[in-house]
Structure 1
Amino acid sequence: MATTPNIDNKRYRSLIVSIALFLSLIGALLAFTFYTSSLLERNTVLIDQTNQVANSAQAVIKDLFDLDSSYGEDTSSPHIQRVLERLEQNTTLITGSISAIEKGGKITDIAGNSYNLPKINNKSQTQIAAANEQWKALEPKIQAYLKDADNIMIDSSDELTQAVEQAKTSSLLINDSLDQLTDEVFINAERQATTIRLVQILGVAAIFAYFLIFVFFFVRRLRDTDAEALAARRETQEIMETVNTGLFLLDKDLNIGQQHSRALNGIIGADRLSGENFADVLRGRISDKDLKTTRQFIEQLYNPRVKEKLVDSLNPLHKVMLHNTSGEDSATSRFLDFKFSRVYEDKDIARILVNVNDVSDAVYLEQRLEKERSQNDMQIEMLTTILNVNPKIINEFISNTKTHIDKMNNILKNPGSSQFELEGKLKAIYREMHSLKGEASALKLHSFTKIASDAEDKLDALQNQGKLSGNNFLPLAVHLDDLLSLSNTIETLGERINQAAPKAASIAKSVAPMTTASVAETLKTSTPQPIVTNHASVDSAINSMSINGDNEIDLSDESDDEQLSYYQDFAQDIAVRQGKQIQLNGHNLAHVNIPAHLKQPIKEISIQLLRNAVVHGIESPEARQSAGKSVVGSIDLKMQRDSQNLIIALQDDGQGIDYEGIRHKLVADGRFEQDAASQLTQGDLLKTLFASGFSTKEHADEDGGRGVGLDVIKALVKEYNGKLNVNSELGQMTRFVITLPAA
């Protein structure tokens, strides 16, 4: 949102200039003070240095007299060595100090501290030159003596005598010159100190006078500005009290501005909003995730490199539900729509303007329309299935669905309170729900599949929570009721379509003439009846199956090609989701006489075996290529019958059963300790592969990873008194052979 050019910079330019000038005066005065303080410090160092030179000169004279009176003493004695060393040090110090004082250079004292000496005036130069002249007359004689002073083989008495005699003459002149120099430096220091005080007094007076003028002038300006601001605020307040939408400004820290529309309090449902933090106002009324996203969204609005239109599509507060903070009346929760716009000052983003509207009525209307649309879509989905699938399959599915629901209801009704009994109920319901979901997925009835998947999610949560109770099973009743209601709906739709079709015509021809009007009428008049269940739920989660529902499931009534196509479509759907390539080969599928009581279990077993082969057996194309195999995995499905048994055999050329991988997974899942797992035989490991809830797949998805498919096979084989054999070669193949008594 663009604004008019800001005139504050022009209005307060003189204020800024005046303050800058005021600070400049203070800065200049401080700089002058620092400079003069530094100069005084250097003069002090110069005075100290001249005193030190004078003291050192006195020490040199004393040491020379001491050496002269002690001449003849052993030069290696501690006394002579100490005096000679001190004489040499003082001589060097005097030479360096006089040179530094004369030139105004840097000097280092005995302690190692360095100082800068000021340049001295002409009068002081004359005095230091006189001292230097006398020192130059004395210093060579001292150096001549020190050259051989500690050598007992050389007589240095003459040099010592000359140095002593020269010292008697030069010491007085050196001291006199240095005293005069010290007095001159001290006088200069006092003169400079007086000048500094005068300048400081004048500077402080000027600054104080300038400050008084500054205050007088700008108080008048501020008074005029306040009057203008008051008038503008009054106009803004009138606007804010009139508009019926919520308007307010946000800064970078998410603080609400002091001005906002009167309607905002009623829309947000808060008495005080001015100056409050926007995040605190929303906290507890929207989810923590939405609150975090809102912070990030506003940060992006303040980022000038992000386009406003682009970031607006990510607005997390578009038609968001704002919950009632009291929690007493959920009806007071409402849907609000927040719109955010940038407020610019020149080219900078200064604020975010927020416009809030209560859109509860519109959202509730959308929800009602969406619910009706979902119901229509569900019925159209069911009607599409009825129109494209043999009625025998539909009837079989409805019958099986009710059978599965009845079984789950009976399982829930059975008494049981111990953990063992509750876990048994959980596994049994899980298997029934998994089988029901598979048949629904085969017919592409996504409404059924969705409800079954939701139920599996709850079952999976129960299976992982550890301790179970009867109340944990109660939510499953809702899912069973929904499943039965849907099965009644599809049964009613099928009956109406069959009644509308010519009795003498074939099924394909009877459904072909159906028009859009007749479909709509069928949908309109279908009234499913819900089931009433009164028990608990189960926990565990299985994988959804996708079987092509365009073919009949009754194997004995279909050709070999139709049956093979049925299973190929099912396997290919899974392979596509898993990113694999497979080729299913079927043998003797149509020429096997299957007893009526075995048709349903054989179908379920075949489906589970095929899914297990695609998900767990066949490798990815890349892995197969690396192993030297064809990228297309091969699966062989065979059925045969002898005088007593019906045999189903499925073999894949995949990676085989990795027993060591099973062992590691058992340890990783916490089912076994490392030592105990290492003792398991291949037979033990194979049994765990068929255990409920165990899977070698790392992450569960729609097709596998929850450990239910093989458990279903094991339960069906046991229920029909059959036998299950598994043969596998690592990296080569896996073969399942299931034998069921035909009688």
Structure 2
Amino acid sequence: MSAENSKKTLKVSVFERYRSLLLSLGVFLAVIIAVMTYSLTLSRAVSAHNTEVQVAARANEAHENMLRILFNLKMSYGEDPNSPHVAHSLKVLQSNLDIFQKNLDALQKGGTGVSVSGQEVAINPLGDAESQKNLQAVIERWNHLKPQIALYLKDAMSPTSNPAHLELASMSAQNNYEQVSGSLTAIRGNLNSQIRVESQRTNMLQLAGVFGSLVFFLGFVFFVIRRLAAADVKADESRKETEEIMNTVSTGLFLLDKDLTIGSQYSKELERLIGQKDLAGQNLIDMLGSLISQEDLNTTHSFIGQLYNPRVKERLIGSLNPLTRQVMNIQEGNNTVQRYLDFKFNRVYKGDEISRVLVNVSDVTNAVLLEKKIQQEREQNDVQLEMLSTILRADRQMIDDFVRNTQKHNMAINNTLKAPGERQSELRSKAEHIFREVHSLKGEAYALNLHGFTVIAENIENDLKKLQATSTLTGENFLGLAVHLEELMNLTQTIEDLVGRLGNNNDSVSNQSTSGKPKMSDYYERLVADVAERNSKIVDFNYVGLQQVENEDLRTTIHEVAVQLLRNAVVHGIETPAERHARRKLEAGHVRMELQDTGSQYILNFEDDGNGIDYNAIRAKAVKLGRYSEAEAENLNNKELLALMFSSGFSTVEQATGDAGRGVGLDVIKDRVNAIGGKINISTSAGMYTRFTFTLPK
């Protein structure tokens, strides 16, 4: 009995001896299990939302495919309905219709949907009210569109099918596209927001688990050290193990005190991310001094100061973090690499006091570059849609002329950039030549509402303006233009490909507009109307004379002159309605263009009943530009002033806009007319009219 009592006493004493340790282990295991369970729950939720995002994305893709196929079928109408092309398109249309319906049902009621990869996946119905609201909007639009597509598919294979069904389905799909796409995008945005929230919770939970494990480990080591009376040895082992952890984690971790001093312990990954070593004890502002702007440094200092203010809620100032996706040029050996780094700041409490700030630095370069790539592709798609819309509306001859002229402009710019030249006069002449080509291209693009070309042309013009303002030019100053030229060539190739794909599908509308007037007058009338609207003016345009010039080069010259002069007539010539009313004129200004064939030459006339040429304004601008003194300008006659008006870089407009103010339009006209041996005659009366007459030899 005494031996058994002794064993029981020993068991009790051992339990009592290690009671605190066993209780700590029990609590630790319970926390770990709870953390793992909650983390698993969050991971499942993220996975489920990701699947829902895939299903919503596939639904959006199916809807876009239906719109595209309907458009292609509309363009191919008249082909044999049993042809492989039409049959395949109808099959794909039906497939996308089924997928779209299936995914809508899955998002609404739960069940099986189709992901972007084409696999069938099971999902739950959308849970949040905002997503349900957007889904209901999609369903309402779909309920209007689906019967129309079904009506078309019912007899699509029949040779006697009603084309109105296809037209109605296509038109309805286009009308519903923006709303359906927007609602599906909103659904995905809501789901992605939920994913981000759940992911952040998971990260914070894991961070808390790591931090809790570290605290427990240190406490356990301290307990063992005290029990085994080997505090120094165990402390050294603990330090080594902590370093191993910090050398293993894939993000940059470090602690920051109130003075913004980096703690002695930080992850090895931090040195790689920042490109600096021996960071312990350094000031955060000094570490980031060469990596970010002074403004961001000041904001960072203020932001961290707010983190140490206990009256400020941590979650309320998270959006003020200046180091979110911060771009930095990091030195990596002998090379400089660009990284996007994400700094996350979390308070560390000691009791009720904020003792430190835990900083987590992660490399988000791949995510940022992927988003930029997606955005770039989206912008390219928008440009292609814009150009496709223009091609379908415009006269085929005009589009062909635009493509051909743009290729000529591109070639001229490229040849000018390649041309040798080191003297200042040669370099400035090179800039002026490029400016003329780009300005002419921009005018044609403006006239056709091709904003993609216009944006690139304006970027080139802005760079050229900076070059012209540079006191000393070198060949390196022109390197940036090569990048813009490549963009211009790629965009030209895109519109050329689109025209080639469409073939002669728009020939049916290429000869006459809906109003019955010739296409040439329609084109210039639309140009005048657009410029007038942008400049808040009312203009009546009238065109008479030839409708077509057979000579391609001469037609190009006439077109370039017309675009530049019509814009100038509206911007510089025609007054605003209020000004015309004050001068007792009709509120609508009048612009007239006439092209005559006299046998051996063409006579091209432009006339407006506006301001007339203001010679005093030309004198004042010449003085302001430093070309003449006031005394010299006063002695200039009208002919000399007109010659000055046609010089490069001269404009009486103070603020350049998309329509005027670059000082290149008349320079382009002079260059093009002189190139073919033409003559220019100008007649004007102040406050009454301006008439340009061009004599162009055949």
TM range (shorter): 0.5 to 0.7
**Counterpart secondary structure, 1:741:** strand
Q: CA deviation at 1:244?
A: 5.7
Sequence identity percentage: 44
Is 2:569–2:591's contact at 8 Å kept on the other side of the alignment?
no
1:611 is aligned to 567
Q: 634, 642, 650: which is aligned to 1:694?
A: 650
Q: 611, 631, 636: which is aligned to 2:591?
A: 636
Residues of 1 paired with 2:462 and 2:647: CA distance? 19
1:725 is aligned to 681
Compared with structure 1, are the counterparts of its residues 305 and 649 closer, same or farther at alpha carbon in structure 2 (3 Å cutoff)?
farther
Residues of 2 paired with 1:616 and 1:299: CA distance? 56
Compared with structure 1, are the counterparts of its residues 362 and 623 closer, same or farther at alpha carbon in structure 2 (3 Å cutoff)?
same
Compared with structure 1, are the counterparts of its residues 672 and 305 closer, same or farther at alpha carbon in structure 2 (3 Å cutoff)?
farther
1:211 is aligned to none
Compared with structure 1, are the counterparts of its residues 296 and 463 closer, same or farther at alpha carbon in structure 2 (3 Å cutoff)?
farther
- CA deviation profile, 1:266-313 (whole Å, cap 9, x unmatched): 543433445544333222223456546656766888999999878655
Q: 545, 553, 574: which is aligned to 2:531?
A: 574
**Counterpart secondary structure, 2:290:** coil
Compared with structure 1, are the counterparts of its residues 656 and 238 closer, same or farther at alpha carbon in structure 2 (3 Å cutoff)?
farther
Matches within 5 A, 1:268-417: 268-273=274-279, 276-287=282-293, 290-291=296-297, 294=300, 312-313=318-319, 315-325=321-331, 328-331=334-337, 333-340=338-345, 354-411=359-416
Aligned partner of 2:691: which letter? F
- CA deviation profile, 1:505-548 (whole Å, cap 9, x unmatched): x6367xxxxxxxxxxxxxxxxxxxxxxxxxxxxxxxxxxxxxxx
Using CA pairs below 8 Å that are at least 6 residues apart, which structure has the higher relative contact order? 1
Matches within 5 A, 1:244-263: 245-246=251-252
- CA deviation profile, 1:119-150 (whole Å, cap 9, x unmatched): xxxxxxxxxxxxxxxxxxxxxxxxxxxxxxxx
Q: CA deviation at 1:457?
A: 3.2
Q: CA deviation at 1:672?
A: 2.8
Is 1:726–1:734's contact at 8 Å kept on the other side of the alignment?
no
Aligned partner of 2:592: which letter? L
Aligned partner of 2:598: which letter? S
1:188 is aligned to none
Is 2:447–2:523's contact at 8 Å kept on the other side of the alignment?
no
CA RMSD in angstroms comes to 4.6
**Counterpart secondary structure, 1:699:** coil
Is 1:615–1:703's contact at 8 Å kept on the other side of the alignment?
yes
Matches within 5 A, 1:630-709: 632-641=587-596, 643=598, 645-709=601-665
Q: CA deviation at 1:469?
A: 4.6
Compared with structure 1, are the counterparts of its residues 298 and 598 closer, same or farther at alpha carbon in structure 2 (3 Å cutoff)?
farther
Q: Determine if the alignment matches structure 1 residue 495 to structure 2 residue 511.
A: no
Q: CA deviation at 1:715?
A: 1.5
Residues of 2 paired with 1:623 and 1:310: CA distance? 54
Residues of 2 paired with 1:342 and 1:628: CA distance? 71
2:83 is aligned to none
Residues of 1 paired with 2:618 and 2:311: CA distance? 52
Aligned partner of 2:433: which letter? A
Matches within 5 A, 1:539-550: none
Is 1:336–1:359's contact at 8 Å kept on the other side of the alignment?
yes
Aligned partner of 1:335: which letter? Y
Give the ranges of 4+ consecutive aligned residues of structure 1 lying more than 6 Å apart after TM superposition: 237-240, 249-253, 257-262, 296-311, 341-353, 554-558
2:217 is aligned to none
Q: 417, 439, 444: which is aligned to 2:444?
A: 439
Compared with structure 1, are the counterparts of its residues 307 and 677 closer, same or farther at alpha carbon in structure 2 (3 Å cutoff)?
farther
- CA deviation profile, 1:348-399 (whole Å, cap 9, x unmatched): 9998765432212322333444444455445444444444444333322222
Compared with structure 1, are the counterparts of its residues 270 and 426 closer, same or farther at alpha carbon in structure 2 (3 Å cutoff)?
closer
Residues of 2 paired with 1:309 and 1:573: CA distance? 50
Is 2:406–2:441's contact at 8 Å kept on the other side of the alignment?
yes
Determine which structure has more spread, i.e. the larger CA radius of gyration: 1
**Counterpart secondary structure, 2:541:** strand
Compared with structure 1, are the counterparts of its residues 692 and 289 closer, same or farther at alpha carbon in structure 2 (3 Å cutoff)?
farther
Is 1:560–1:590's contact at 8 Å kept on the other side of the alignment?
no
Q: CA deviation at 1:432?
A: 1.8
Residues of 2 paired with 1:463 and 1:315: CA distance? 41
**Counterpart secondary structure, 1:330:** strand
Under a length normalisation based on structure 1, what TM-score does the superposition of the two structures give?
Answer: 0.52
Compared with structure 1, are the counterparts of its residues 248 and 671 closer, same or farther at alpha carbon in structure 2 (3 Å cutoff)?
farther
Matches within 5 A, 1:507-526: 507=506
Give the total of aligned pairs. Answer: 461
Residues of 2 paired with 1:562 and 1:305: CA distance? 70
Q: CA deviation at 1:490?
A: 3.1
Compared with structure 1, are the counterparts of its residues 655 and 247 closer, same or farther at alpha carbon in structure 2 (3 Å cutoff)?
farther
Residues of 2 paired with 1:300 and 1:362: CA distance? 29
Compared with structure 1, are the counterparts of its residues 485 and 268 closer, same or farther at alpha carbon in structure 2 (3 Å cutoff)?
closer
Residues of 2 paired with 1:345 and 1:724: CA distance? 86
**Counterpart secondary structure, 2:690:** strand
Aligned partner of 2:594: which letter? M
Compared with structure 1, are the counterparts of its residues 556 and 496 closer, same or farther at alpha carbon in structure 2 (3 Å cutoff)?
closer
Q: CA deviation at 1:610?
A: 1.7
Residues of 2 paired with 1:381 and 1:289: CA distance? 39
**Counterpart secondary structure, 2:454:** helix
1:3 is aligned to none
Aligned partner of 2:631: which letter? D
Q: CA deviation at 1:709?
A: 0.6
Is 2:262–2:284's contact at 8 Å kept on the other side of the alignment?
yes
Residues of 2 paired with 1:451 and 1:683: CA distance? 36
Compared with structure 1, are the counterparts of its residues 406 and 262 closer, same or farther at alpha carbon in structure 2 (3 Å cutoff)?
closer
Unaligned runs of 5+ in 2: 1-237
Residues of 1 paired with 2:310 and 2:685: CA distance? 62
2:696 is aligned to 741
- CA deviation profile, 1:616-671 (whole Å, cap 9, x unmatched): 3344566666x456795513122042525533333444444333333333333333
Compared with structure 1, are the counterparts of its residues 308 and 654 closer, same or farther at alpha carbon in structure 2 (3 Å cutoff)?
farther
- CA deviation profile, 1:441-494 (whole Å, cap 9, x unmatched): 433444433443333333333322244455554554554444344433433343
Residues of 2 paired with 1:396 and 1:483: CA distance? 16
Is 2:262–2:281's contact at 8 Å kept on the other side of the alignment?
yes
Aligned partner of 2:696: which letter? P
Is 1:636–1:651's contact at 8 Å kept on the other side of the alignment?
yes
1:45 is aligned to none
2:70 is aligned to none
Residues of 2 paired with 1:351 and 1:482: CA distance? 50
Residues of 2 paired with 1:315 and 1:714: CA distance? 56
Aligned partner of 2:530: which letter? D
Is 1:437–1:449's contact at 8 Å kept on the other side of the alignment?
yes
Q: 457, 462, 472: which is aligned to 1:457?
A: 462
Q: CA deviation at 1:608?
A: 0.5
Residues of 1 paired with 2:627 and 2:311: CA distance? 53
Q: CA deviation at 1:690?
A: 1.4
